[in-house]
Every structure is written in structure tokens, then in C-alpha cells.
Amino acid sequence: MEIQLAVFDLDGVVVNTDEFHFLAWEQVLLDKWGIRHTRQAEELTKGIPRYTCMELLAEHYHIDASPEELRRVADEKNLAYQNLLRTRLSDKQILSGIPETLRLLREHGIPTALASSSHNAPFIVEKLGLKFDFCVDPDSVAHGKPAPDIYLAAARRFGLPPEACVGVEDAASGMAAIRGAGMFCVGIGVPAMGGGADAAVSSTDQLPGVFGALLGLPPALNWAAGFSTALAAPAVPTVGTTVRRLSHMAGFFGDQPAVRALLERGEDPVIYEFHELAAPEHPGDLSFGITTLYPGGIGGECYMTKGHFHRELDTGEVYYTLRGSGMMMTENMDGVVRWFPLSPGSAVYAAKGFAHRMVNTGDEPLVCFFAYRADAGHDYRTIGISGFRRRVFRRGGKIEIEAAHTHTKEEPQ
Ligand code: PAN
Ligand code: ZN
């Protein structure tokens, strides 16, 4: 799909004011009926309009009150909630990944709308300085969620068909509203895992990645949030990022005049970058990360990683391709050459004893996840001196693998 509008629910998607709702109910239930509100009972109220909440709580706590009285107390709860919003709302309530998501959409000229059933929504976003292009007035639509009305109203405001819009929700009723409207549904959390969403994520910090993919951008990985580890040490995993430009690997490409010409012109393109968990260098640990190798070539030779043997020669490595197309070129000390295609969804095993390098033969970034024994170490020298026995070219859209003239060892018989 080509995304033209992003529509967000508020609570649980953009902000989390659950604690304020809890405190407000706690206060009115105690003042009015001397009831001690529990977290368990609060669960009944999530994502539900306040009068219905009050009815559910009255049933739960066996409250004997007239419908009018219940409505009055529900209104009092709302006043208590608004008071908390006025006095205690801060950046802390903004969910992680939201500012980045809104910035990303703004940078790409995609308008944003808020589709919240809450009348407090405009106040909340205004106070937090969050910018949305439009906020649907819940009173302007005939039916609340799970009816699609509020999402359809957002699309109509921008004159867009629902198929060009993406909706984001954390509750089942909201996801039903998005799907009913015919929009692409991004679901957050457990309710989204049941198959009700077109894209399901476990938390909002994955939203920049989802929208990045919808915008056709290469995966931008949030390493701090993307690694879940239970390492003994370091307790907090550190992630190392390495960027290799042409100047870091000038001698690796066959066409040396072309390399020199580029560098002399002041052009020093990024060839690849990788992010890796700094796991303890212990044989029982695994190091893992992601490499992004950009598309391009020097004198027809495709961009590639430097490539290396592992210092502990007897250690293998797994590569899993997430995006792009290319190949894994490998060779061992005896000159046995093996190469494997890399395409999304395929896993490649670089066997122990084989030097390995990624080569991007396509038009988009080649992104691979890798994992290897954390104490394996990297020996760039051995293969760096002799060079790989094969070079990969792309000429006129055709991929050609050639024996390297510059290779200093004898070809195998
Ligand atoms: C990978 C590579 C990464 C970068 O993590 O280190 O793709 O390639 P070079 O190390 O050849 O520059 C790996 O194979 N680790 O063992
Ligand atoms: Zn390796």
C-alpha cells in the first residue's frame, strides 16, 4: 500500500494515562461508598466510555445506586481525572517511539489524525505539545468504536479513500473499527496478537519501524529496544555500531583507478554498517547483530563487506536475510570456494574454517541478521592479504562472478 494518512487512537497508543484513570476511580469510589478500588477491577474499565465503566464497577462492587447517581459519580470521576491531567500530565505519559513516529511521518509529508473517543484528547495533545493535523470530534460521529465511523471521519477530512490510510490501536474494539473502515490496521500489545491486525507489534517503540517499512524505508533498527537479553554481564547490553566507508576499504575493490578518482573527488560513500551486541567473549555466549550493506558498485564490482576468517577458525556463523538480495561468498584456506544466494527469509550457514563476505547484487540495502560464537574473533589479515578468489560484478543488470586477477594465492586444482 502507499500510505497517505496515519490515524491514531490516543490512550495506550500515543499516551498512557492509565494511572490517572485508576487514581480518579479510586478517589470517587472511596469518597462516595468507602470502597477500596483494586487494580484487578480497574482492568474491567480499559478502553470503555465512563458511564459503561461505572455500570461495570457497580456490578463488580455490588453498589446499590440509581442510574442517575451512577452517572453523577462517573462525571465526578471525569472531573477528578481532568484535574490529574491538569496538574500531573507530563512527558512521562508519552509512549516511547511516538515522537519519533510523528517526526518520521512529518518528514515524509504524511498527515496525521487522532481518532479518540475521549473528549479530553485535544487537551492532552495540546498540553504535551504533540502535533496532529486533525483531531476527530467524537460527538461528530453517529456510532462509537467498534463502529468504523470515527476512522472514516478522519479519512473523509483529508479526502482520502480508507485504503490509503493506516490506523493504530491497542484495544480490540478499536482494531475492529479500523478494519471495519477498510484501513490498514497496526495493532499494539496482546489484543493485536490474535490476528486482528495487519501488522502486530508488542509495544509502541516498534512503531517507527512499522511506519518506516510502510514508507518503503530500509529497516531502521532501534537497538536499545530491539535487544532482549538476560546476560550475566554486562547487565545492560551495549551495542557497538561500525560504519565502513570506501576509504576504510579502498584496497578491496579491483578497479583501483576508479576508487582513487572517487576519493579524490571527495566522495566517500558508506558501503555498509553493522550493529552488534557486545556479548562477553566467552565460548558459551553468542554474539549477534545486523549488517546493512548498501547497493552500489565500483567499476561494476558490487559493494561488499571486507570479509574475514574467524580467529578461532573452527567456528561457524548463521546469516539470516531480512531484506534485499545478494550473496554470501565464502572460501577456506585450501581454496575451496562456495557461495550462496541471500534473499529475504533464507538462512545461510558460513561453515567453520571458511572466510565469509556479503555482496549486494541488488538495488536496495541488503540487511542480514548474524549470530556466531562470541569468542570467535575476527582475522581480517589472512584473507585481506591474498584477497578473495572471486569477485562479483553487475554489468547491464547481469551478475557475473569472476576469478580475481589480484588474488595472490594459487587457484585450487
Ligand atoms: C559479521 C561481520 C559484519 C561486517 O558480524 O563482521 O557483517 O563484515 P566484516 O567484519 O567483514 O567487515 C560477522 O561475520 N561476524 O563474525
Ligand atoms: Zn564472521
SS (H, E, C) 77-135: HHHHHHHHHHHHCCHHHECCCHHHHHHHHHHCCCCEEECCCCCCHHHHHHHHCCCCCEE
The answer to whether the CB of 330 is under 6 A from ligand 1 is no
Q: Which helix (H) or strand (E) holds 162?
A: none
Predicted pLDDT of residue 224: 46
Predicted pLDDT of residue 1: 78
Reported as a single tens digit per residue, the pLDDT across 283-312 is 998 998 899 999 999 999 999 999 999 999
Ligand at shortest distance from the CA of 319: 1
Atom from ligand 1 closest to the CA of residue 272: 4
How do strand 378-379 and strand 309-310 relate by DSSP bridges? Answer: antiparallel
Write the burial class of residue 194 (CB in 10 Å: 0-12 exposed, 13-18 middle, 19+ buried).
exposed
* pTM flag (> 0.85): no
Check: CB of residue 299 under 8 Å from CB of residue 258: yes
Whole-angstrom distance, CA of residue 205 vs CA of residue 192: 15
**Residue 319 phi/psi, 5° resolution?**
-120, 130
Centre of ligand 1 to C-alpha 276, Å, is 9
pLDDT tier, 218 (very low <50, low <70, confident <90, very high otherwise):
low
The answer to whether the CB of 306 is under 6 A from ligand 1 is yes
The answer to whether the CB of 319 is under 6 A from ligand 1 is no
Does residue 215 have a pLDDT over 70? yes
Centre of ligand 2 to C-alpha 136, Å, is 52
Reported as a single tens digit per residue, the pLDDT across 82-135 is 999 999 999 999 999 999 999 999 999 999 999 998 889 999 999 999 999 999
Name the more confident of 31 and 44.
31
Centre of ligand 1 to C-alpha 278, Å, is 13
Does residue 142 have a pLDDT over 90? yes
The answer to whether the CB of 390 is under 6 A from ligand 1 is no
Atom from ligand 1 closest to the CA of residue 307: 11
Mean pLDDT is lowest, of 107-111, 170-174, 328-332, for 170-174
The answer to whether the CB of 45 is under 6 A from ligand 1 is no
Centre of ligand 2 to C-alpha 216, Å, is 29
Predicted pLDDT of residue 238: 67
The answer to whether the CB of 287 is under 6 A from ligand 1 is no
Predicted pLDDT of residue 108: 94
The answer to whether the CB of 372 is under 6 A from ligand 1 is yes
Average pLDDT over residues 26-42: 96
Average pLDDT over residues 375-399: 93
Whole-angstrom distance, CA of residue 265 vs CA of residue 254: 19
The answer to whether the CB of 292 is under 6 A from ligand 1 is no
How far, in Å, are 190, 223, 231, 277 from residue 228 at the CA level? 18, 10, 9, 10
* Residue of 378, 379, 382, 383 best suited for mutating to test ligand 1, as the one with most atoms within 8 Å of CB: 378
Q: Is 58 helix (H, G, I), strand (E, B) or coil?
A: helix
Q: Is 386 helix (H, G, I), strand (E, B) or coil?
A: helix
Centre of ligand 1 to C-alpha 29, Å, is 60
Reported as a single tens digit per residue, the pLDDT across 184-213 is 999 998 788 776 889 888 889 889 888 988
Reported as a single tens digit per residue, the pLDDT across 249-285 is 999 999 999 999 999 999 999 999 998 877 888 899 8
Q: Which helix (H) or strand (E) holds 231?
A: none
Nearest to 328 by CA among 407, 372, 241, 392: 392
Q: Nearest 5°: CA angle at 129, between 128 and 134?
A: 110
Predicted pLDDT of residue 412: 46
Residue bearing the CA closest to ligand 1, atom 12: 306
Centre of ligand 2 to C-alpha 56, Å, is 58
Average pLDDT over residues 144-158: 96
Ligand at shortest distance from the CA of 308: 1
Residue bearing the CA closest to ligand 1, atom 13: 370
Predicted pLDDT of residue 220: 56
How do strand 317-323 and strand 398-403 relate by DSSP bridges? Answer: unpaired
Predicted pLDDT of residue 391: 96
Number of residues that this document lists for the chain: 413
Q: Is 291 helix (H, G, I), strand (E, B) or coil?
A: strand
Cell of 411: 587457484
pLDDT tier, 233 (very low <50, low <70, confident <90, very high otherwise):
very low
How far, in Å, are 7, 151, 189, 194, 247 from residue 181 at the CA level? 12, 6, 21, 19, 52
| Mean pLDDT taken over the chain | 90
Reported as a single tens digit per residue, the pLDDT across 332-371 is 999 999 999 898 888 999 999 999 999 999 998 999 999 9
Predicted pLDDT of residue 91: 94
Does residue 237 have a pLDDT over 60? no
Atom from ligand 1 closest to the CA of residue 356: 14
Atom from ligand 1 closest to the CA of residue 310: 16
Centre of ligand 1 to C-alpha 317, Å, is 10
Average pLDDT over residues 383-408: 88
The answer to whether the CB of 373 is under 6 A from ligand 1 is no
Predicted pLDDT of residue 227: 56
Predicted pLDDT of residue 229: 57
* Residue of 286, 308, 379 best suited for mutating to test ligand 1, as the one with most atoms within 8 Å of CB: 308
